[in-house]
Amino acid sequence: MSKKDPKKLAKKLAFSGKDHDQIVKILENHQDNFSEEELASAFLKLDDYLVGYQLASQAKSKGFNQLLVGMLLFTIGASVTLVSWLADGDRYLLAYGAILGGAWIGKEGYKIYQMPLEKLVPRINRFGR
């Protein structure tokens, strides 16, 4: 843990899944290492870090759901193709749309799911458009 900057410590603790009270207790235990101004600024940013963690974990679960939908669509397409091929060996239905679409959706969901939580935090529009 970083003892030089309480904001970095608070962010690291928030993104590791600690709740508000646990982070406050940990920061208060390290009160000797930080000045009062540093602690006050860390407490002000703490809610932003916790909200960012919640939003990032929601985006990660959305990526996992997208991965599951893609795998399901791919499996349905492959199953339709296999069943139609087994039913009549000369002619069969190739469900390439479901197969390729499911593979693409699954790949994009996996990309989101494997990202670290810090990169999934949405950016704040500071200009208020």
Per-residue pLDDT tens over the stretch 59-93: 999 999 999 999 999 999 999 999 999 998 788 89
Once rounded to an integer, what is the mean pLDDT over residues 17-33?
89
Average pLDDT for 43-71: 94
Sign of CA dihedral 5, 7, 13, 15: negative
Query: How much is the CA Rg of the chain, to the nearest whole Å?
Result: 24
Q: Which two tokens stand for residue 125?
A: 């529009």
What pTM was computed for the model?
0.77
pLDDT tens per residue across span 85-111: 999 878 889 999 999 999 999 999 999
